Chains A and B, each alone.
Chain A
Amino acid sequence: MTKHASVRAGRILDAQLHLLDRQVLDADRVPIAAVDDIELTDIASGDIAVGTEGPIIENLLSGPVLATRIFGGRPPASRWHRVPWGLITELGTAIRISAPGSDLDVTWVERWMRDHVIGRIPGGRHAPE
């Protein structure tokens, strides 16, 4: 999938301004999550040698991590729902990715509610008339 001009090497992004709390849309422009936090590659502790590569953003995070961002703490890594940085195709007023939302862990609650609650109520799978 071709990437939008907003996704290019060398573009300077402010994580607070351009990433956090933005809406994420999947390949079909369906909203799937808001960016609750971001995951960086490990930063070496202690003295950092000259010439060391800086950390890079690996994933956008969503889900339970929102509660810890607001109230403090850190959820276990198994509870992190990730959107890999490489999937991003546009960084605009919303963030678009190239995968369908159903491929990602961030939408499991949505799918569970669909399969076990909403899809079972008569008329739940048809568009309104």
Chain B
Amino acid sequence: MKRLFAVALGVLTAIGGFVDIGDMVTNAVVGSRFGMSLAWVVVVGVIGICVFANMSGRVAAVSGRATFEIIRERLGSRAGLANLGASFLINLMTMAAEIGGIALVLQLITGIGPLLWVPLAAFGVWIVVWRAKFSHLENATGMLGLSLIVFVVAVIMLGPDWGALARQALVPAVPSDEAPATYWYYAIALFGAAMTPYEVFFFSSGAVEEGWRRRDLGQARLNVLVGFPLGGFLSIAIAASAAIVLLPQAIDVTSLSQVALPVVQAGGTIAFCFLIVGMLAAFFGAALETTLSSGYTIAQYFGWSWGKFRAPAAASRFHVVMIVGLLAAIGILLTGVDPILVTEYSVVFSAVALPLTYIPILIVANDRDYMGRDVNGPVANAFGLVYLVIILVASIAAIPLMIVTGAGA
């Protein structure tokens, strides 16, 4: 159990990137429309986030500087501010979506409308941010989130034609009834979700919260190598379950209940219970991740005191930012907007934030002033450079594709 808890930071970070509410629905949409033909994108995304999360964790452990401090330090105050604005908007929209997601799950259980649950869910997130120790929150949400393995079980129980699934995944082709632009729009959405900037903000700040030092570099790598591939595996399983059940019947995924359909069909009530627990933990974990990230990024940009290892009074502006953020998230949801739709538009802001986040990490990971003898090796640099090119292409193509395809309609 202790070993499992040692990778909790990586697992919780990955949950926010791969199986939070927006990604869960996107994965099911992709599975129901494109089968397994976009699974390769998830693999590409997992490798990319592993490369950069490992770098950001290493920089934090060796130099004590979390990611947004080095973003400001390397990009300067202007470009840093542009990144802060974009990242904060992504954070805020994701926070709102996750809190809305918690409310939707509670509605599935109780039948009481989601708007009543929204303030309660936001209060729950705040009380954990306010009072719970960092290690407790990552252990509880990370481990309960593992209930989502029920998607993997469901895929196996559905007894699919494994050969056909593997062919779709290994020899990807655009389905005949879909436009290529739509295919690539969803490819970028999946890649952007895998590489969402708040993952590295949270992971590097979490490394500081846990007090990682140079001797903990092995643990940092283990967190990365367990957490993100697990997150990617779950998101492929969600797409597979949709590809098996929803694709042949041409069911459009528009809400959470359609995401749950394959699981219920495969495993009945027991599987549904696991799914509910897993979704609640994953959305709650993602809400914590984005709420804390909003505080981390702003506090680190302006140089304020931050962190849950301090009493709130010793990091007062950090806590004020998070309280204001949660109130804003409630405000967004009370307008009655669809929480799932909210996350889809965060792709646009990711386009700005992705390169401005990952370039400084790569530069500082090569700076001996920060890293001493632990600078990047040639392999990490080669991967880092290749991924920077992919990130740039994705970020340039994101907005035009969104307009051309009407956000994947």
Contacts and interface: CB of A to CB of B under 8 A. Distances in A.
B303 interface: yes
Interface in B356-390: 369-370
B5 to A, nearest CB: 17
A113 interface: yes
Interface in A6-43: 16, 20-24, 30-36
Interface stretch (B126-134, B162-170, B246-254): B126-134
Contacts of A92: 369
Interface centre among A24, A70, A113, A126 (most CB of B within 10 A): A113
B308 A31 contact: no
B43 to A, nearest CB: 35
A23 B305 contact: no
A103 to B, nearest CB: 15
A110 B316 contact: yes
B319 A118 contact: yes
Contacts of B130: 121, 123-124, 128
Interface residues of A, number: 37
Interface string B180-195: 0000000000000000
Given A93-B369, A113-B317, A32 B305 contact: yes
B311 interface: yes
Contacts, number: 100
Nearest to B301: A34
Contacts of A127: 309-311
Contacts of B300: 23
B140 to A, nearest CB: 14
A22 B81 contact: no
Given A32-B305, A93-B369, A129-B133, A21 B313 contact: no
A62 B23 CA distance: 39
B308 A93 contact: no
B386 to A, nearest CB: 27
Interface in A104-129: 109-111, 113-114, 117-119, 121, 123-129
Contacts of A20: 76-77
B320 A69 contact: no
Interface stretch (B47-55, B64-72, B266-274, B347-355): B64-72
B77 A36 contact: yes
Contacts of A128: 130-134, 308-309, 311
A64 B146 CA distance: 46
Given A62-B303, A70-B81, A34 B311 contact: no
B314 interface: yes
A32 B303 CA distance: 6
B317 A126 contact: no
B63 A93 contact: yes
B311 A126 contact: yes
B305 A94 contact: no
Given A24-B303, A110-B305, A118-B319, 4 more contacts: A21-B72, A34-B301, A110-B316, A124-B311
Interface of B: 63-65, 69, 72-73, 76-78, 80-81, 130-134, 299-306, 308-314, 316-317, 319-320, 369-370
30 contacts: A20-B76, A21-B72, A21-B73, A23-B65, A23-B69, A23-B73, A23-B300, A30-B305, A31-B305, A32-B304, A32-B305, A34-B301, A34-B302, A62-B303, A66-B302, A70-B78, A92-B369, A93-B64, A93-B65, A109-B317, A110-B304, A117-B316, A119-B313, A121-B312, A124-B130, A124-B311, A127-B310, A128-B131, A128-B311, A129-B133
Interface of A: 16, 20-24, 30-36, 62, 66, 69-70, 92-94, 101, 109-111, 113-114, 117-119, 121, 123-129
